[in-house]
Amino acid sequence: MRIGMGYDVHRLTEDRELILGGVEIPFEKGLLGHSDADVLLHAIMDALLGASALGDIGKHFPDTDPAYKGISSILLLEHVGQLLEAEGIKIGNIDATIIAQRPKLAPYIMNMRENIAKALNIDIQQINVKATTEEGLGFTGGGLGIASSAICLVEKEKGDHE
């Protein structure tokens, strides 16, 4: 068994949709980034890639590649799931936290979990997503950005050669 940890942060900006966990959330600002800037999925992907010793999302989806401009992070997460499957790696569980002063995210968490489970072809019970504020402190507390962290457990399947 192996554990991976991921972290991502993006600045909030005008004229962008706010996408978290593949869910469009009504809000006056969105996250600035090359893709859809979904910090939750980016943290989850980095946790999975790290636990699997497969690098990080910058290696697989560089922000210098126009192919990823505006791309849905759900599509990127599906690709990460395929990479893990090709390596014979099974996901045990994922636990993630979104750090945002606003908006309130509780009404959207079940949809986020469903999107993640579908993208990775795992059971929704293997995924936990929670949200917290920073009580007005720091860049997230001041409404300048949103961050997310994730941790996961993976296990490589035993092959005939092991």
pLDDT per residue over 96-146, tens digit each?
Answer: 999 999 999 999 999 999 999 999 999 999 999 999 999 999 999 999 999
Q: How far apart are CA 131 and CA 1, in angstroms?
A: 27
The answer to whether residues 129 and 112 touch, using CB atoms and an 8 Å cutoff, is yes
DSSP state string for 60-94: HS-TT-GGGTT--HHHHHHHHHHHHHHTTEEEEEE
What band does 157 get if pLDDT is binned at 50, 70 and 90?
confident
Global pTM reads: 0.95
CATH architecture of the region 2-156: 2-Layer Sandwich (3.30)
Q: What is the pLDDT of residue 159?
A: 63
**Phi and psi at residue 75, in whole multiples of 5°?**
-65, -40
Residue of 98, 83, 82, 92 whose CA lies nearest to 22 = 98
Binding site for a divalent metal cation: which residues?
A: 8, 10, 42
pLDDT per residue over 41-92, tens digit each?
Answer: 999 999 999 999 999 999 999 889 999 998 999 999 999 999 999 999 999 9
Surface-to-core class of residue 135, CB atoms within 10 Å of its CB (0-12 exposed, 13-18 middle, 19+ buried)? exposed
Domain ranges, ordered by start, for the chain: 2-156
What band does 30 get if pLDDT is binned at 50, 70 and 90?
very high
Q: What is the pLDDT of residue 20?
A: 98
Q: What is the pLDDT of residue 4?
A: 98
What tokens were used for 106?
């509780």
pLDDT per residue over 110-124, tens digit each?
Answer: 999 999 999 999 999
**Phi and psi at residue 145, in whole multiples of 5°?**
-165, 180
Binding site: which residues?
A: 8-10, 34-35, 42, 56-58, 61-65, 132-135, 139
